[in-house]
Structure 1
């Protein structure tokens, strides 16, 4: 129980600090629950329990132990609940409880939700939370029904329904946790599993503001600029990645080489859309060509959409940086996308997100090159996967040193709460009231 003094301290925290504290508290609680004797089939170290709890809460999917064989149904249910909490956000659940109890949602709560959902204004935040839950429950239920068509005949009613329940939550929240040691490689030829799982993490990763915009306006021409950028950008990246993987891996006997033409296309499609923070894989990551791995690293770093279950720097951030660069090269001063001007503060924010993210990732890579007995590409892949809350791995997660596990836990946490949110929680930036004279600096 929190004392009155501690509760008062929590209420004095700014939105960024409160988000960090609440997420950390959720991970600690999850760790304790996963350490309970009836949560596991075998003894699990505290560090491994913390790793799994952090991975679930940050909807990453990296695992130092096999979730399917290590944890009981109770333990797996705890993991699923942590994924749901992390994907939709603890503060979203808090707001929902407030609404159910009929309590007034004040400015403080709206500010926290604005930070949690990465919104530019307070308007419509509560309405977004309501629709967020409506979409989530409906989509996960429908997906569970479709997956049960495949898994109930295979595993029976009890296990089949539970597997459908677990993987629909894991996929929609872009977690990437699977209850088989090979993830879902065994279903590489199964259209139903591939299409349902991929549809879930694409919908979950595109952003709730985009889904709400599509639901309300129904016509592409009426969509907001953010929605149009997300839809076009997602389509372009996914199609390019699919054909890239198809042609590069076509003759690789350890990935696509031994599959039929239809299965090659299906596997290429699935593995192309998965790096955008989903974490499921139907191909062995360690057997992929280095060119494919490098493309996946780029996709993992970019991530999905803002106000989604996805991680990474976000697709809109990457697009703003690209367009800002093109604008500069063309000798123009104002950035315009889709006949709309982009305010300079969004350009600065995009650059700050990319730069700070890169600093965290490079620091983690540097530490792990000293602590781990793995190749550079394996470490690079693992760190970017953790930062993008993806969950794909070349197979080194289970063999990480204690220091390596701790680094990955921190990177997963940073990737989920956001690097800027973390820095703002440590030192809230102050607006400069004094303006100084201009002077040029030589660059380039």
Structure 2
């Protein structure tokens, strides 16, 4: 498969629109999911609602990637949104019947939408020249900002709509989720025409070669002649096989590890920030403002970071992202010493979101260069690892806060960065794809918009 230097503007627009709708659907439900769980099961189970959604996203990531490999991105994305529609319907039904277990099942299915929103960024990059992949992915990621901001603001309206049709008020926003997910599914199924992704097993290496062959320990992977005739579809590869093959390449190891670590650092600090602020006497209104600023930091500048990844190379962006995360946890440590300072806390959370965004975009750009036969399953299993890492970080953050306060949380987050630095050093030392700095947007093959 040749690399397309031009963007299919319509297909990219469809992905942006579907991510906006998907973001609205996710944010509308997440805003009240914990409250609904508390109403049906008490305060002790309120956090399990969020956990069910995260688990649903993690479990769905690999099957969605496998479906994309078999049937194409269009059916994977559309089918995932359809499952999320079912999840939202089950949530509403659980509220009507006051069934807690049914609620958790619905929230797990509902969480599939988050996995779809994440995998849409990879769909945007399929078939695009390396010089422009990060920018395309970052634009689709940026679309999530709209949904993340608009969704929670529909909570009150959704409650009134729900009561008007005989549904409990807290379940009303999920009616908007049903409509949003259904619209995203139909738009992708009818309008999205993805470029093929699995016909080039050599990824971005020269034609007629197969990357990631076994090498002695300590040596970079070698490139061996391929016995497969040109044009022959590559055999399907499972997620674990893709992960094992990627582990042989230091650059791919960074792509996999960076996504999980960036997400874990962000989640660990973010989920404990409201508690830190409340303990410092700050108002709920200020907590809401700080979290909103954090979300803007996560997504608003992603097109700029995508441009930087294409111009400077994703490895340099990865290094910058880790540096920004280090600054964020340092600011968080300072904020812990001044519990009443909302300004320092807000600055730390904005910087934290920016570092997360740089890590996600750099990792996504690296994974988009994986060989064609492992690209889809590797992307799926890496997204699953991202969700599992976030869930684990959230679970550990509470005990860390209890033992060491908000300072301890930021120290723990800083320690999580150390493995990423080791992975980055190995990738920079053995980079053979030019990802450390020749990804210039102005070189031949840079993007044009169709």
- What is the TM-score normalised by the length of structure 1? 0.32
- What is the TM-score normalised by the length of structure 2? 0.32
Where is the helix percentage greater, Structure 1 or Structure 2?
A: 2
Specify which structure has the bigger relative contact order, considering alpha-carbon pairs within 8 angstroms and separated by 6 or more residues. Answer: 2
